[in-house]
């Protein structure tokens, strides 16, 4: 069945799906109506999956399709969220075009909890204030589309960019997010899963360019992933194509970031989050 994000903040009348009883009709919001009914040409009686980011997913049936709107009814609720079994927040230096889209898309598929956008000395992208909302909305939509595809029901929240030096001073600070993600960020379900806004991480890993004195596995990482008594919270810092400056690396290491050298090759900025998250997931699943 097709999956769609049900955006309750882009409609004056839409209620959270949890407030709609099974068997009750409701009006689809604009995005699922457009994609499902107009683009995919759905018909009355078709079934699909909706999720609103507040927890779980809802199987729905189309009951009426009109020119500018459609009605559906909830058939059943599934509480599954398909989260990763560790909490992760990525500090990601912005890159250009498809590379940035790819990094966000794949990190979402691998269950990232939150992404803090960063600018850095060697970074290619520095957004003007007038550009921030447009780019933030675009990248958040990339993440939501990835959720629709991969089955993740608690989408990562992407935070507006700040300089890497400002973030390193306090990695728990929260910058702006898309308006339509605010309800999700404030929900009990999201706060329980995304503790990145509330606590210090268990470990902070800087994806490093290979060199002889970097350990292949940072100290404490394996034991952290083996500990079944808690859900690990891990932060990752990923630089731009040009890497972090020497000053930025020194600043990061001074506040507790550990270099993590994955293999002997230099990875592109869009590859690094994929490899790091996949490696962490594999370690967690094997232990």
Query: What superfamily would CATH give domain 2-78?
Result: Hypothetical PUA domain-like; domain 1 (2.40.240.20)
Phi, psi of 171 (to 5 degrees): -75, -5
- Taking the CA atoms of residue 3, residue 74, residue 63 and residue 45 in that order, the dihedral angle to the nearest 10 degrees is 60
**β 2-5/25-27 pair status:** unpaired
Pinpoint the residues of the chain covered by CATH 2.40.240.20: 2-78
Instruction: Give the pLDDT confidence score for residue 126 in this predicted structure.
Output: 80
Alpha carbons 196 and 88: distance in angstroms, whole number: 8
Number of neighbouring beta carbons within 10 Å of residue 120: 23
The whole-model pTM stands at: 0.91
- CATH 3.40.1280.10 domain residues, the chain: 87-286
Contact 267, 275 (CB under 8 A): yes
User: What are 230-265's pLDDT values in tens digits?
Assistant: 888 999 999 887 788 888 988 999 999 998 888 778
97-109 and 272-286 are packed helices; what angle lies between their axes, rounded to 10 degrees?
10
Residue 36: partners with Cβ closer than 8 Å, 6 or more residues away: 2, 4, 28, 42, 46, 48, 62, 70
Q: Averaged in consecutive runs of 10 residues, what is the pLDDT profile of the chain (287 residues)?
A: 86 80 92 92 96 94 94 96 92 90 96 92 78 92 96 94 90 83 80 62 84 73 83 91 85 91 84 93 78
Query: What pLDDT is recorded for position 286?
Result: 72
Mean pLDDT for all residues in the chain: 88
Homologous superfamily, domain 87-286 = SPOUT methyltransferase, trefoil knot domain (3.40.1280.10)
């Amino acid at each position: 069945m097709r999956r769609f994000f049900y955006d309750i903040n882009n409609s004056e009348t839409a209620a959270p799906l949890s407030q709609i009883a099974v068997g009750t009709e409701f009006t689809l919001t604009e995005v699922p109506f457009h994609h499902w009914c107009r683009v995919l040409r759905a018909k009355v009686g078709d079934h699909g999956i909706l999720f609103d980011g507040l927890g779980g997913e809802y199987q729905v049936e189309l009951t009426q399709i009109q020119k500018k709107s459609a009605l559906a009814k909830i058939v059943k609720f599934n509480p599954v969220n398909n989260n990763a079994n560790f909490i992760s927040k990525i500090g990601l230096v912005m890159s250009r075009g498809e590379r940035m889209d790819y990094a966000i898309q794949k990190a979402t598929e691998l269950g990232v909890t939150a992404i803090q956008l960063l600018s850095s000395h060697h970074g290619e992208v520095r957004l003007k204030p007038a550009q921030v909302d447009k780019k933030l909305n675009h990248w958040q939509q990339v993440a939501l589309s990835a959720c629709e595809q991969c089955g993740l029901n608690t989408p990562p929240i992407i935070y507006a960019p700040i300089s890497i030096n400002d973030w390193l001073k306090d990695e728990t600070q929260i910058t702006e997010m898309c308006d339509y993600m605010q309800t999700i960020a404030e929900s009990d379900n999201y706060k329980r899963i995304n503790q990145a806004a509330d606590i210090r991480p268990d470990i902070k890993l800087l994806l490093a360019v290979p060199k002889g004195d970097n350990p292949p596995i940072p100290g404490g990482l394996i034991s952290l992933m083996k500990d079944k008594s808690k859900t690990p919270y891990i932060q990752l810092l990923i630089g731009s194509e040009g890497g972090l400056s020497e000053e930025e690396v020194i600043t990061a290491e001074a506040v507790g970031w550990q270099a993590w050298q994955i293999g002997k090759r230099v990875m592109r900025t869009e590859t690094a989050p994929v490899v790091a998250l996949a490696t962490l997931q594999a370690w967690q699943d094997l232990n």
